[in-house]
């Protein structure tokens, strides 16, 4: 994912652009260290971005919020979504890799908070 180009452009009213490679975990930027924890960080950024778009409908001010994520200063008020979702997203982008949830924990959290959807054949 780290080499994936930015797939969208920011609106003219956006005050700033997110830092380059904002989806890359801090340890990957500093020491080129990749692993499961790095993947979890990237998932957290995606979770934040999806909910940001849902709440705001555009990417205005997203740069400011993602810079808070990178600085480790993002708070639970970031998304205005259910507590479990915000908590999960922020745990995924924890600066300390060992503080991030495992893939199994993430699946368990989603299973606990989502409803089964059955598609008729």
68-72: long-range contacts (C-beta < 8 A, 24 or more apart)?
Answer: 69/22, 69/44, 69/45, 69/93, 70/19, 70/22, 70/26
Domain membership of residue 97 (yes or no) is yes
| Predicted local distance difference test score (pLDDT) of residue 11 | 40
pTM above 0.95, yes or no: no
Domain membership of residue 86 (yes or no) is yes
Of 59, 31, 44, give the one whose Cα is nearest residue 90. 44
pLDDT in tens, 45-88: 888 888 777 666 666 667 767 777 776 666 666 666 667 888 89
Provide the residue range defining the domain that includes 38: 27-113
How many domains does the chain divide into? Answer: 1
Residue 69 structure tokens: 């994520």
Domain membership of residue 18 (yes or no) is no
CA–CA separation, 44 and 94 (whole Å): 9
Domain membership of residue 1 (yes or no) is no
Domain membership of residue 118 (yes or no) is no
């Amino acid at each position: 994912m780290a080499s994936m180009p930015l797939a969208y452009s920011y609106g003219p009213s956006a005050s700033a652009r997110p830092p380059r490679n904002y989806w890359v975990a801090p340890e990957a930027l500093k020491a080129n260290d990749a692993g499961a924890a790095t993947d979890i960080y990237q998932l957290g950024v995606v979770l934040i971005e999806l909910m940001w778009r849902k709440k705001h409908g555009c990417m205005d001010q997203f740069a400011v919020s993602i810079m808070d994520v990178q600085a480790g200063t993002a708070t639970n008020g970031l998304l205005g979504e259910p507590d479990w979702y915000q908590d999960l997203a922020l745990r995924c982008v924890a600066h300390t890799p060992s503080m991030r949830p495992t893939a199994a924990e993430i699946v368990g959290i989603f299973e606990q908070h989502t409803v089964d959807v059955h598609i008729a054949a």
